[in-house]
């Protein structure tokens, strides 16, 4: 992408910066709406869709050449918007499947999985994306793209990818009629969990509270 394209001031729908900002804005708006809890039974599939679409934008940023900001120091954006309410609302909606196990780096050998929360992850991703969006709305397009690209590699790309796997796993267990077994005491306050497979307290609760409203029926076994 040329420097002229990076600094374009029109809203050409074919412009890279416009497309990326539109995808990110769509994610921010959609997750905020989901967190309101108007359709609790659709929380997981909606989030699966939105995170998947966000990672498309992330992939485009990741595949792009390094974006260099105009200024040596980042302009001050003031205080960050609080995400605690959104985080808490998502935690309530996702209970009891909010906590999952994550391996931070699959290329580091013998790293044990650690517990994480989908609600925490989404709040973390939104914080990163809002930071870049503040630059974009202030007319600092290159700064916004630099931040989104940098934070994609350093934080939100990994976090969103792990969240996507967790959301996918929840729906896969429902659709394939594979209830998750109970694991007493699983929480993010715990340290490294060891090499044992981490399973979450869901099963029938997940099928009734998430699968029911979606009209999902357990998969029939092949004869």
CB 129 within 8 Å of CB 148:
yes
Q: What is the pLDDT of residue 32?
A: 97
CB 50 within 8 Å of CB 34:
yes
Angle at CA of residue 148, ends 146 and 151, nearest 5°: 100
Q: What is the pLDDT of residues 101-114, one digit of tens each?
A: 887 777 877 677 88
Q: What is the pLDDT of residue 14?
A: 65
Q: What is the pLDDT of residue 197?
A: 37
pLDDT less than 50: residues of the chain: 1-9, 182-186, 188, 190-206, 214-223
Listed in sequence order, the residues at least 6 apart from 97 whose beta carbon sits closer than 8 Å to its beta carbon are 44, 118, 166, 170, 180, 200, 202, 206, 210
Listed in sequence order, the residues at least 6 apart from 113 whose beta carbon sits closer than 8 Å to its beta carbon are 101, 102, 103, 192, 193, 198
Q: Tell me if residue 114 falls in helix, strand or coil.
A: strand
Q: What is the pLDDT of residue 108?
A: 78
Give me the phi and psi of 25, to 5 degrees please: -60, -40
Q: Is the pTM of this model over 0.85?
A: no
């Amino acid at each position: 992408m040329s420097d002229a394209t990076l600094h374009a001031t029109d809203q050409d729908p074919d412009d890279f910066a416009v497309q990326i900002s539109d995808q990110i804005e769509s994610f921010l708006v959609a997750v905020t709406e989901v967190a309101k809890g108007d359709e609790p039974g659709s929380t997981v599939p909606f989030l699966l869709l939105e995170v998947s679409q966000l990672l498309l934008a992330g992939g485009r940023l990741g595949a792009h050449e390094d974006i260099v900001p105009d200024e040596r120091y980042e302009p001050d954006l003031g205080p960050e918007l609080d995400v605690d309410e959104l985080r808490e609302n998502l935690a309530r909606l996702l209970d009891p499947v909010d906590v999952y196990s994550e391996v931070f780096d699959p290329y580091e050998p013998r790293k044990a999985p650690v517990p994480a929360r989908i609600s925490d992850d989404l709040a973390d991703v939104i914080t990163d994306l809002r930071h870049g969006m503040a630059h974009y709305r202030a007319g600092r397009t290159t700064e916004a793209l630099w931040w989104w690209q940098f934070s994609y590699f350093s934080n939100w790309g990994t976090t969103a990818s792990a969240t996507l796997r967790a959301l996918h796993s929840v729906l896969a267990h429902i659709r394939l009629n594979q209830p998750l077994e109970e694991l007493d005491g699983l929480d993010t306050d715990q340290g490294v969990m060891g090499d044992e497979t981490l399973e979450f307290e869901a099963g029938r609760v997940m099928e009734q509270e998430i699968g029911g409203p979606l009209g999902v029926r357990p998969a029939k076994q092949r004869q």
